[in-house]
């Protein structure tokens, strides 16, 4: 038996993050139904924005609300406005075809995606980078070259000159 992905909400936007709540992730009922999750089910959440990953359980938000709420201690890791992937798994003796949805900025289902074993081709459209992010990124020709590391001194490691020997 193996744990396999069964449900995935892709690129959801966190609409609220409340550290004072007891715990869990609050998910719009429409999204819960679209991917076959259950209230109380354990899920893995991965932030596309920060790279943070955590496990928690599902709490139902009203259908059509668009709510994706990160609650409790998890709100220290994933903040409001971050893009996340929410995944549910199943212990199975045979391969599964997961229920996967891509959502828009309001957390409405844009389309169902197909993930098949062995697929190496991306199934998502290119997501354009926000203009403010592009404008804030330094151009390659404006980045100064790296200085070579000094030998010895504080940069040395154990057994190297400069480490109190």
* Interatomic CA distance for residues 162 and 77, integer angstroms: 37
Q: 57 an active-site residue?
A: yes
Helical ranges in 78-157 per DSSP H: 131-136
Residues 6 or more apart in contact with residue 119 via CB below 8 angstroms:
none
To the query of whether residue 21 is one of the catalytic residues in this protein, the response is no
> Which residue out of 7, 24, 47, 65 is catalytically annotated?
24
Angle at 86 between CA 76 and CA 7, to 5 degrees: 160
Among the options 57, 92, 94, 142, which is catalytic?
Answer: 57
Q: Alpha helix (H) ranges present in the chain? A: 29-35, 131-136
Catalytic residue numbers read 24, 57
């Amino acid at each position: 038996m193996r744990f396999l992905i069964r449900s995935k909400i892709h690129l959801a936007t966190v609409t609220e993050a409340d550290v004072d709540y007891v715990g869990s992730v609050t998910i719009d009922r429409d999204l819960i139904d679209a991917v076959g999750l259950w209230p109380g089910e354990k899920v893995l959440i991965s932030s596309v924005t920060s790279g943070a990953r955590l496990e928690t359980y599902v709490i139902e938000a009203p259908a059509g609300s668009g709510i994706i709420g990160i609650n409790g201690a998890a709100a220290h890791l994933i903040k409001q406005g971050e893009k996340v992937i929410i995944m549910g798994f199943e212990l199975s003796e045979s391969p599964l075809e997961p229920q996967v949805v891509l959502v828009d900025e309001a957390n409405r289902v844009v389309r169902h995606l197909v993930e098949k074993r062995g697929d190496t081709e991306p199934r998502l459209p290119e997501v354009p980078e926000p203009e403010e992010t592009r404008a804030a990124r330094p151009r390659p020709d404006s980045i100064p070259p790296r200085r070579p590391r000094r030998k010895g001194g504080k940069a040395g490691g154990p057994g190297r000159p400069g480490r109190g020997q």
